[in-house]
Structure 1
């Protein structure tokens, strides 16, 4: 089974910037999108999406945030949000239950300039981790993916010293991701490539950052430890443009 995750920075724009081509070339069984910035009825999907079951969770605020999942296999159930009203207004989580696992697509809140939203972000990290653990407690393992808005280690961004107190690389956000790993979840890219550098998934639009590969790795696939024997590969599709992020992939038996 091949899974792809991509922060498209607006699905309507990305449909004209390579998203249909990605479906054709990669043929994913499941495609998870973040920052869709649209409701389902606002989007006319092209023929490449035929055969996929579509599920959306959009923000209350128009044109903001939002996630979507397109799956060849019909899920047993779909859950919007994490069941907490204070966290479910921005369309940031979709949970799909399949026969063998739970899939969670997430677009984590950004701590923003001067870390002004960091206190909320810390509450979010705990609530999201509790959501994953509650799913785990049902007896099925979890696959989570999306834009987690944090570069965990210094090798996960090009300029760690300059960004030491920036959103996405604050000590608090990095510790939040560490707590996720301590809960047992596996960063699949680092499982296969523990020491690889210059492997990024997001680049600023400013200053030719992408051409110079001055980026951050903030998009992830994470899995429960019981799925470790079934992992086949994890990757970063850095040559796919159309957004300030690139897709990430996971292949699992």
Structure 2
């Protein structure tokens, strides 16, 4: 099975570029997107053979997630069942016979960390949500988590130490997540690899110079370790300021 996650930074924009081409080329069983930046009815995607699930933010042109899958789930839920955080369209969960698939777009702490308190509240609530799922069956969680975990995960760690996405608080939350029985699948397969990123600023020729951050992930329950086959970051795919990330597993019971 193959899973793809991609922050498209505005689905309408990337539809005018290469979304259809990328979607067809990757031929994923599960294709998760973040930052759709649209409301219901603003686009109609013709994706034969795929079921579509959308979570829209109340605020227009902001946030939003979607999952397109060849496999109809047993159940679907939107958000993390917490009214403080469920108005921004950040989470979708699909339930299958042997696992949950969770698509997440974590809040950005913003310049000067002005939204860090909101982000920390989300982190606590989201971890509780994931752990409640994991008590029932394994979890595959993906998305733009808006944090580079270790210095190896961004080009310029020293100058970004207290910036959004690389603050001590955000990095500690990622450490705590992994300590709760989850694996960072890219690091599972590439523990020491450097210079592989999933997001680059549109400024300063960042992508050309590969001055990037690895902030897009597939995180899975440790119990799925033996089912993992590959995890990659598809740095050659353009269209957004992020590139897609890929997870390949053995066939899982649907």
- Between the aligned partners of 2:29 and 2:84, the Cα distance in structure 1 is 32
Deviation by residue 1:150-183 (Cα, 9 ceiling, x = unmatched): 0000010000000000000000000000000000
Consecutive unaligned residues in structure 1, runs of 5 or more: none
- Between the aligned partners of 1:180 and 1:61, the Cα distance in structure 2 is 28
Q: Of the candidates 158, 182, 192, which is equivalent to residue 155 of structure 2?
A: 158
- Between the aligned partners of 2:118 and 2:126, the Cα distance in structure 1 is 12
Q: Is contact 1:201-1:219 (8 Å) kept?
A: yes
- Between the aligned partners of 1:30 and 1:126, the Cα distance in structure 2 is 27
Q: CA deviation at 1:40?
A: 3.6
Residue 19 of structure 1 corresponds to which residue in structure 2?
A: 19
> Given the alignment of the two structures, is residue 126 of structure 1 paired with residue 124 of structure 2, yes or no?
yes
Q: CA deviation at 1:90?
A: 0.3
Deviation by residue 1:81-127 (Cα, 9 ceiling, x = unmatched): 00010010100000000111000000000000000011111111111
Consecutive unaligned residues in structure 2, runs of 5 or more: none
Residue 190 of structure 2 corresponds to which residue in structure 1?
A: 193
Residue 87 of structure 1 corresponds to which residue in structure 2?
A: 85
- Between the aligned partners of 1:34 and 1:24, the Cα distance in structure 2 is 18
Q: Is contact 1:17-1:241 (8 Å) kept?
A: no
Residue 239 of structure 2 corresponds to which residue in structure 1?
A: 242
- Between the aligned partners of 2:17 and 2:168, the Cα distance in structure 1 is 35
Deviation by residue 1:173-232 (Cα, 9 ceiling, x = unmatched): 000000000001000000000000001000000011000000000000000011000000
Deviation by residue 1:8-32 (Cα, 9 ceiling, x = unmatched): 0011111122111112211100000
RMSD: 0.7
> Given the alignment of the two structures, is residue 53 of structure 1 paired with residue 77 of structure 2, yes or no?
no
Residue 229 of structure 2 corresponds to which residue in structure 1?
A: 232
What is the DSSP-based 3-state SS (H/G/I as helix, E as strand, rest coil) of the residue aligned with 1:162? helix
- Between the aligned partners of 1:42 and 1:19, the Cα distance in structure 2 is 16
TM-score by length of 2: 0.97
Deviation by residue 1:52-77 (Cα, 9 ceiling, x = unmatched): 10000000011110000000000110
Q: Is contact 1:31-1:71 (8 Å) kept?
A: yes
Q: CA deviation at 1:137?
A: 1.2
- Between the aligned partners of 2:209 and 2:168, the Cα distance in structure 1 is 26
Q: CA deviation at 1:44?
A: 2.3
TM-score by length of 1: 0.98
What is the DSSP-based 3-state SS (H/G/I as helix, E as strand, rest coil) of the residue aligned with 1:222? strand
Runs of 4+ in 1 over 3 A off after TM superposition: none
Q: Give the number of equivalent residue pairs.
A: 250
- Between the aligned partners of 1:240 and 1:18, the Cα distance in structure 2 is 9
Q: Is contact 1:95-1:102 (8 Å) kept?
A: yes
